[in-house]
Structure 1
Amino acid sequence: MKMFFHYNWIIREEWYRWCEEISEEELLKERTGGLGSILETLFHIADVEWSWIRLLEGKEDFQEGFDNYKSLEKVRQLDARFRPEVENFVANWDDSMEHRVLTTIGRDGTVDTDEWGEVMRHVIAHEIHHIGQLSVWAREVGREPVSANLVGRGLPELNKNK
C-alpha cells in the first residue's frame, strides 16, 4: 500500500510539471466529466487525500473550496502544506491499523463505518481514477499525458527502507 501512495505522489508531481506548459486558461477550462477542470481536479486529489487522513487521525477536515486556489502555484503550495502529514501517516502505517474502524456521519445523516485499510485503498484508487481523467483531458489539449506506468520508477527500492 505504501508503494501506491509513493506512486501517486510521483505521478502528481509529474502532472504539476506537465501543467507548467499549459496556459492557465486551459488549466481552468470547464471539461466534461470529473470536477470540471484540470486544476480543480488536482486540487481535489490533494484535498481528498489529506481529508481522509485527517479523519483517520481524528482531526478536523479541510473545509476550503477551490475558489481560493485557482492557480497552479496555489494548488502546489496547498499540496506541499498537506503532504508532510500524509507522508508521516503513511510511513507509520502498520498491519495493526488495517481493521480499525472509522465512523463518519454522511450528509444525509446516516452513520457509516469503514475499516482504515479500506479507506486507505480508497484514497489510492481515488487519485488513480482522477489521473485517468487528466490523461483524457491532456489528449483533448493536444498533449501527451503523464505516463501512468508504475514499472521502472524505482518504487520497490524506495519502499524497502520505509
Structure 2
Amino acid sequence: MERSEDLLKLENQLCFAVVTAARNVVSIYRPVLEPLGLTHPQYLVMLALWERAPRSLGELAEELAMEPATLSPIVKRLEGQGRVSRRRRAADERMLDIELTATGRALREDALDVPRQILARTGMDVSEVAALRDALVRFAGSGVASRTR
C-alpha cells in the first residue's frame, strides 16, 4: 500500500496523465495533418462528416462532445477552405446543416493514410491503440461510450 503522501504525487494523478496524453496526441497528429491542411479539431469534424452528412451543427457538436459555440468557428474555417458548406434547412430554417463539398469528400482519400502514420509515430500496434482507446471510452463515461457502439 502506498503511503498517504504518495497519493498526492503528481506522477500518481490520473488527471495529469490524461491531460499530458491529450497534449501528446495533438502533437503527434499535427505533422500528419498539416499536409492535408487540417488542424486536429478540423480533422475530427471531417471524420464525423465522412461517416454521415449532412448533419446539423447541434448533431455534430453532440457527436464530437463539443459546444456548438466552439464548433461553429471550426466549421466556418472548413467552409472557407471549400471543404464543407453550411445551409439552412428548408423545413426548419433554425437548423443549420453542414454538408461535405466535392473537395471535402475527395480529402477523405488523402486522409486514409493518417491512421497508419499515427501508429508508426506512437510505436504502438493496432491492438495496443484499441485497448487504450477502449479504456478511455469507458473512463469518459456512458455518453461517449454509447455513441461509439
**TM-score for both structures, normalised by structure 1:** 0.26
Greater share of helix residues, 1 or 2?
2
Q: Which has the higher contact order (CA 8 A, sep 6+)?
A: 1
**TM-score for both structures, normalised by structure 2:** 0.28
